[in-house]
Structure formats: structure tokens, C-alpha cells
Amino acid sequence: MNRQEQERPGDPSKAVESMYEYGYRKSNYGPDELVTDAHGNPISVVDAMMKADQASRVKTSTPHLCYYSPRIPGNTGSAIRLCAVTGTILHLIEPLGFNLKDTKLRRAGLDYHDMAHVVLHPDFDDLVRSMPDSRIIAFTAHAEKLYTEVDYRPDDILLFGPEPGDIPDPMDIMAGPHVAEQVRLPMRPSLRSLNLTNCASIAIYEAWRQLGFQGGR
């Protein structure tokens, strides 16, 4: 078989290869939607998400994860995948710094089942009202206590503030009366902080380890 025959237009493998560049789906292929159903049809992002009252009733094996006003879509896309593979529920507090249909979110390889682990809240008070029995543990560089010094519970909420930028960190949120603990990840002095979802991954896996990796294999 010559090269021309190998790359004929009807070759399914070549058709798939042409849709991707550097592992990412090209923007000119497929519908401009974040999630699809089992048949590949676009569905509403909101329809795919968990409702706040549902999240409060779900029995989890890991603490909940909360991003307060995240700004970078790639970080949130990675967090959605993190939560899908660990069985964690991700709470996103508006305002967000991006549209949930952003291309960088789609590039994280998200699908309907991943989004089923996500709750969108209009403000922080809505999270507090919907999870009244949960401890909120804030991860902040201002804390003295290390994240490993906490005995985590499945109904805890691990709170992370927005990525560093022009907007000041919301210390009324990260150090407010609703926060039970403030903790930090150790880092070498005078260096920039870790990526947001790298920090969240470390925290979730430490909590899951303490809880015996229930539900995992």
C-alpha cells in the first residue's frame, strides 16, 4: 500500500489525527460546547452539574474542594478532572474569571461524568448555607499550621482562594468566622507559590490517604 492510499480521505485513523494538534482538539472541529452526552451530543453545562442541595447530602470518601472566584480556566479544568478521579465534589464560587465553555476547559478532556462532580454557587454565603455542618479549612500562605497536621473528615471543605493576580486575596473569606482552620503547604522561602490545582491535588490526596483511599483501587 502506497502513502497516498494510506492517507486516503476515508481513512478513519487519519480523520481522527487531523482533529488534534499537540494532544488538544482543534477549535475548528466539533461543537463549541464543554460537555456531551453518551452519544456525543452537546448538553447544557448547568444540566450536567450537581445542585447545591444534592452536594450536601452526598456521602463522600474525600473532603469537598472549593475554589473561590477562580480566574484561570485551565486550573479549573484540571480541578474538575482531579475531583472526577477521586470522587471529590468541587464547589466553584462566582464570579468566575472565564466562561464555563472556555476552550481551555474543554482541552482538559472533560465530559458529562466529570461535570457531575461540580457545584456552582452565586456567592460564598450560598456555599456556607448549603453545607452548614461542614468544617471549612482554608489553604493560605498566611497560615502557621501545616496541612498534614489536620485530621480530615469526608464532609470537610478545603477552601482555596483565587490565583495570584491584580485582585487582592479575599482575606474576609480566607480568614472569616466561618473558617475552622487555616493551613499551608510548606515551600522553600522567597519562591513563588505552586500552581493552584497542584496545591489542591496535594491536599485532596493527603486527605484521601488519611481516610484509607476509600472508593479507590
Q: Are 197 and 84 in contact (CB under 8 A)?
A: no
Say whether 185 counts as a known binding-site residue: yes
161 assigned to a ligand binding site: yes
Exposed/middle/buried for residue 85 (C-beta within 10 Å: 0-12, 13-18, 19+) = exposed
E-strand stretches of 111-207 = 118-121, 136-139, 145-146, 157-160, 179-184
H helix runs in 49-102, sequence order: 52-57, 73-86
Q: Which residue is associated with the grid cell 473532603?
A: 63
Phi, psi of 16 (to 5 degrees): -65, -45
Question: Is residue 63 within 8 Å of 157, Cβ to Cβ?
Answer: yes
CA atoms within a 13 Å half-sphere pointing along the CA-CB vector of 92: 27
Is the peptide bond between 189 and the residue preceding it cis, with omega within 30 degrees of 0?
no
**Which three three-digit cell numbers place residue 10?**
476515508
Are 178 and 131 in contact, with CB atoms under 8 Å apart?
no
Among 1, 118, 123, residue whose Cα is nearest residue 50: 118
Which residues make up each annotated binding site? 161, 185, 193
Which residues make up each annotated binding site for S-adenosyl-L-methionine? 161, 185, 193
